[in-house]
Chain A
Amino acid sequence: MQLPDPVTFAIPAFVLLILIEAVIGRFAPKKSNYEMRDSAASLFMGLGNFAIGLVNFGIVGAASLWVYQFRLFDIGYHWWAFVLILFAEDFVYYWFHRLSHEHRIWWAAHINHHSSQYYNLTTALRQTWTGGFAGTWILWLVLSFIGFPLALIVFQKGISLVYQFWIHTEAIDKMWKPFEAVMNTPSHHRVHHATNPKYLDANYAGIFIIWDKLFGSFVPEDKAEPCRYGIVKQIASFNPLIIAFHEWAGIISDTVHAKSLKAAFMYVFGPPGWSEDGSRLTSRMIKEKEQARLAGQAADAAD
């Protein structure tokens, strides 16, 4: 069965919505903040991802079809298969996304998406160039093993990417409560892109926020703590090549200079921010430091 590629058909909508948001930003800068060089970098990253994806698809598709031979079930294309894959693919996405934040080798492939200090619809298109190389697609093979046909998996991945486009905006405030409770929304995803210590490593959801609530990674947006976007150690380049490869360069440099095999291993597979001498901070360390600071402040206020 041949299914349409949702991303291809969504491109005109992407263009239109970006234009609308940029116009909003001209008249209401608090609702959307655009900078030409930042947006250009994001759009070139999106274009590169699209082109690399066409090449990668051959390898990923072949791996998926190979695994499909050993499938547990024959799910096919029944109507309920589309419902089932909506949740199954989103579940896989949650874990891919969480692991991409918790282990540096996958973080190196994902960091580019977080590297902008701006948060607008072009940020959604700041996609990876190195995810295929890092093997982040391996998790999706589970769906082939269960018995979902390749075309259905590819279709649902497209739906997920299209869904996640519109949540990259400051123009939409918190939404209807029941919707916020179940679905990933601009508010939830702003938290995910924020570098404020209380927001770090939260809200990994793709379409449904329920996974974060189930696995303890949900943090609601707090109006008293406006989101500051980007990465903990911000970069100062709009060059797509630097955006795509700077963390890989960091991994190579750290590994070469590592003083032990264990340290070299940790620089590749440990949490982002891990260092031999403790001079850098992981997300957990940043959160602990902030909690200690706030506790100190509270104690001072009580005195």
Chain B
Amino acid sequence: MAIDPLILLPAAAGAVLLLIIVIRLLAGRRDAELTPETLEQFLAEQEPGEKIASSVISEDRRYALVHWQNGKGIGLIRGFGNKLVLQMLGTDMLSDCVWRTEETLLYVPRQGFAFPPVKFTVEDKDLATVRSYLNGETNATA
């Protein structure tokens, strides 16, 4: 009754590739677009009861930085598929962030094994707020 693994494994790999192609055709790649509404809804679920002092959404709507009222720190939110992922940025992580392209792009380096680096494009109107986050100011407002 047993099937030779040398046949079984390539057959399973073939089935996996077939499925990926069909799912690609049916569902495709989905990317979340951050808006103030989606951000608010996500944070209400993720951090209920915590009040937000200010937030900045990147120009390409892929990332957001959030500053909570209680001194909890700065959170980085990123689209992941059509879901969102929140990651807290400690002071050491914030100090590792660097400005690129004449302060229009903030580079957030890889934060741990499972969080790839982020290129956060900043609009002019948000520059001061983002700078205040990096400087660790607690009274930053958007």
Contact = CB atoms under 8 A, between A and B. Distances in A.
Contact of A246 (B78, B82, B113): B113
B30 interface: yes
B23 A22 contact: yes
Interface stretch (A140-148, A163-171, A175-183, A232-240): A232-240
B139 to A, nearest CB: 24
A36 B1 contact: no
Nearest to B13: A47
A242 B19 contact: no
A249 B113 contact: yes
Contacts of B5: 54
Interface stretch (B52-60, B83-91, B119-127, B130-138): B83-91
Interface residues of A, number: 48
A96 interface: no
Contacts of B18: 15
A96 B86 CA distance: 30
Taking each of B12, B16, B23, B48, which has the highest tally of chain A beta carbons within 10 Å of its own beta carbon?
B23
Contact of B115 (A36, A118, A236): A236
A245 B113 CA distance: 9
Interface string A261-274: 00000000000000
B114 A236 contact: yes
Contacts of B30: 35-36
A38 B85 CA distance: 14
B29 A43 contact: no
Nearest to B45: A228
B80 interface: yes
A92 interface: no
Contacts of B27: 22, 25-26, 34-36, 39
A151 to B, nearest CB: 11
A26 B26 CA distance: 6
Contacts of A8: 3, 8
Interface in B3-49: 3, 5, 8-9, 11-13, 15-16, 18-20, 22-24, 26-30, 45, 48-49
B74 to A, nearest CB: 15
A138 interface: no
A81 interface: no
A19 interface: yes
A8 B8 CA distance: 8
A40 B114 contact: no
Contact of B83 (A44, A51, A118, A249): A118
A238 B48 CA distance: 27
Interface of B: 1-3, 5, 8-9, 11-13, 15-16, 18-20, 22-24, 26-30, 45, 48-49, 78, 80-83, 85-87, 112-116
Q: List the 3 shortest-distance A-B pairs measured between CB atoms, nearest first.
A: A34-B27, A235-B114, A35-B81
Interface of A: 2-5, 8, 11, 14-15, 18-19, 22-23, 25-26, 33-40, 43-44, 46-47, 50-51, 54, 117-118, 122, 228, 230, 234-238, 242, 245-246, 249-250, 290, 293, 296-297
